[in-house]
Amino acid sequence: METVDSRKNVFRIFLISFACFFVSLSLHFQGTALAKEISPEAKEFLGKMSNYLSEVAGATSPSVVNISTTTTVTMKEHPFGDFFGNPFFKKFFGDEFEHPGVPKKFKSSALGSGVIVSKDGYILTNYHVIKNAEEIKVILFDKREFIGKVVGDDPQTDIAVVKVNAADLPAIKMGDSAKLKTGDVVLAIGNPFGLSHTITMGIVSAVGRANIGISAYEDFIQTDAAINPGNSGGALVSANGELVGINSAIFSTSGGYMGIGFAIPSDLADSVAQSIIKYGKVIRGWLGVTIQNLTPELAKSFGVEQGKGALVTDVMKNGPAWKAGLKRGDLIIEFDGKPVEDTTGLRNMVANTAPGKSVQAKVVRQGKEETLTVTVGEFPEKKTVAKVEHNNVLRGVQVQEITPDLRAALNIPADLEGVLVVTVSEESPSYGLVSKDDVIEEIDRKPVKGLKDYENIVSKIGPSDMVLLLLYRNGGHIYVTIKQTEGGQ
C-alpha cells in the first residue's frame, strides 16, 4: 500500500514539473514576442507626431489663463433647519444658529479658463464663467496674478471679454474656424478641476451643432478632446497652433467627461469680442422677421420641393425684410450667397452680418424662386430692467421685453404678450415661485403687454401686498400667488 502511494506521489510530482516546464516555455515565447523590435518607420512616425504635438502645446499654453471668481451667495435657510435651535446645542454653537430661517451670506469661489487674444491684456472667456462675479483673479502661465475687469459680455453667445492691466502678453494666433472639418486634430487647453494648463487631444467630431439649448446663438464645434469642469473659457487649438474655438460645455450624465464637448467657433467668438471692445456692446444684424423650420407637411402645403430653408411666418412692418419685399409664406433658401439649412443657420448668418450691408436673399414664393435685395438693419436693443427696486414681493425679479429672437428660441407663441423673466434673486420673495424664462402675462389680473405695463403695475404694489401672477411656462399657463415672507423688508 505504501509502495503504491509512493509511486502515485512520484507521478504527481512528474506531472507538476512537466506543467511548470510548459508554463515556463510559454512565458519565454511570450517574452520573446513582447521584446520584438519596433520598426524604424514606426519610431520615426510616432517621434515626429510627439514632437509636433509638444511644439503646438508649448506654443499655445502660455496664452491660456486660469480665471478664479468670487461671488456672494445667500442661503435662505440653514441646512440643519431647527436642529441647532435646541438650547443644548446653542450652549455650544452660539446664537447664530437660533434663527435658521434668516438669510445667511457666504463667499463662493469658482474656477474657469480664458484665452489671451491681445498683447495689451484682453482675454476671451465664457459668460457663465464670470457671471455675477464680484472679484476676478487671472493667473497667467508664468504664475503672475492680476485682477480682471469685465469689459462686456454677451449671454446670447456665452462670450465675455475680461481685461487685465498688463503689456506684452503672449496673445494666441486667431484661426479660421470656418475651415475646420470633421476629423481634424485639435487640442483642448484649460484648467479642469483647477489643474492648471491641462492639455487633452482629440478630433473635431462635428461642426455646426445647434439646438442644444446652451445659448441663443448656437453653431458649436463638437469634439471628443476631454473637457471637464474648469475647462470652460479655455482654448480649442488646431494642429497649426491657432485658436479655433472657446471650450464652453459638455454633454454628460455624470458631470464629467463622456466624450462629447462643445466649443464656440473662433470666428463667432472673435466677432463678438471685437464688437464689445470697440462699441462696448454686441452689434448684430437684423431682418425683422419671425421664422420656423420647414417640415415635410409644410413643404407639401406650400408646394415646395426643398427640404431645407427658413419659412417666414411674420414680417415686421417697416423692418428691413418688409422694405425688401419679403412676405409671410416665403421660404428663404439662400442668404448672402450661402445656402440656408434651417432657422438656426439663418439667424446666425443675419446676426453676423454688419448692419447697413445689402445682401441678396433667395426665396421660394408660390413655387417660384425670386431674389430680393435686403439692407440688413441693426438688431434693436430692448430696455432691460436691471432690478426692480420697489419694496414689494417682486423685488429682485429681472425682466426684459420679448424680442423676436427670444420668442423663436424659447418657442413663445407669436400672439403671447408679456415680459420675459431673466433672473430672480435668491433674496426675493418670488424666488422658487417665478423662474428664468417664465413669461409674466398678468399681474393681479392686469394684462402686461410689455415692459412699460410691467413697471407701471409693479410700482403700485405695496410692501405687504400679496400678488397674483399669470405665467406662461413650458408651453402652458399657470397662476401663482406671492406673499411677503416673515421678516421681509
Q: Is 115 found in the same domain as 263?
A: yes
Q: 234, 263, 279: which is the final residue of a domain?
A: 279
Q: Is 349 found in the same domain as 302?
A: yes
Is 99 part of the annotated catalytic residue set?
Answer: no
Neighbours of 411 (CB within 10 A): 9
Is 28 part of the annotated catalytic residue set?
Answer: no
Q: 330, 345, 378: which is the final residue of a domain?
A: 378
Q: 230, 254, 279: which is the final residue of a domain?
A: 279
| pLDDT confidence of residue 244 | 93
Q: Is residue 2 part of a domain?
A: no
| pLDDT confidence of residue 374 | 93
Q: Is 132 found in the same domain as 233?
A: yes
Point out the least confidently predicted range of 15-19, 52-56, 310-314.
15-19
Q: Give the three cell numbers for residue 270.
A: 472673435
Residues 145, 134: Cα–Cα separation, whole Å:
17
User: Using CB atoms within 10 A of its CB, is residue 433 exposed (0-12), middle (13-18) or buried (19+)?
Assistant: middle
Candidate list 68, 232, 238, 271, residue with the active-site label: 232
Q: Is 293 found in the same domain as 275?
A: no
Candidate list 68, 113, 128, 266, residue with the active-site label: 128
Q: Give the three cell numbers for residue 314.
A: 411674420
Q: Is 348 found in the same domain as 333?
A: yes
pLDDT in tens, 188-208: 998 888 788 888 888 999 887
Q: Is 209 found in the same domain as 353?
A: no
Candidate list 158, 219, 267, 405, residue with the active-site label: 158
Give residue 488's pLDDT band: very low, low, confident or very high (50, 70, 90).
very low
Q: Is 274 found in the same domain as 353?
A: no
| pLDDT confidence of residue 388 | 47
Is 168 part of the annotated catalytic residue set?
Answer: no
Residues 272, 263: Cα–Cα separation, whole Å:
15
Quick one: what percent of the chain has pLDDT higher than 90? 26
- Bridge partners of 423, per DSSP, are 398
Quick one: what percent of the chain has pLDDT higher than 70? 79
Return the closest-CA partner of residue 192 out of 313, 81, 64, 43. Answer: 64
Q: Is 347 found in the same domain as 213?
A: no
Q: Is residue 53 part of a domain?
A: no
**What is the pTM (predicted TM-score) of this model?**
0.64
Q: Is 356 found in the same domain as 408?
A: no
Residues 359, 369: Cα–Cα separation, whole Å:
16
Q: Is residue 360 part of a domain?
A: yes
Q: Is residue 291 part of a domain?
A: yes
Residues 468, 361: Cα–Cα separation, whole Å:
46
Q: Is 267 found in the same domain as 171?
A: yes
**Cα distances (Å, whole numbers) of residue 411 to 58, 374, 404, 406, 408:** 45, 26, 10, 8, 5
**Cα distances (Å, whole numbers) of residue 103 to 86, 146, 225, 300:** 19, 32, 42, 58
Q: Give the three cell numbers for residue 65.
A: 489663463
DSSP assignment, residue 488?
A: -
**Cα distances (Å, whole numbers) of residue 94 to 86, 99, 170, 235, 435:** 11, 11, 52, 48, 36
Please give the residue range of the domain that contains residue 425: 397-482
Q: Is residue 85 part of a domain?
A: no
Residues 26, 19: Cα–Cα separation, whole Å:
11
Q: Is residue 30 part of a domain?
A: no
Contact present, 111 and 191 (Cβ < 8 Å): yes
For residues 238-263, average pLDDT: 80
Point out the least confidently predicted range of 109-113, 453-457, 476-480.
109-113
Residues 347, 387: Cα–Cα separation, whole Å:
29
Q: Is residue 149 part of a domain?
A: yes
For residue 413, give the CATH number of its domain: 2.30.42.10
More confident residue, 143 or 19: 143
Q: Is 326 found in the same domain as 225?
A: no
pLDDT in tens, 398-449: 888 887 767 877 889 888 999 999 888 888 889 889 998 999 999 999 999 9
Q: Is residue 215 part of a domain?
A: yes
Q: How many domains are there within the chain?
A: 3
Q: Is 212 found in the same domain as 130?
A: yes
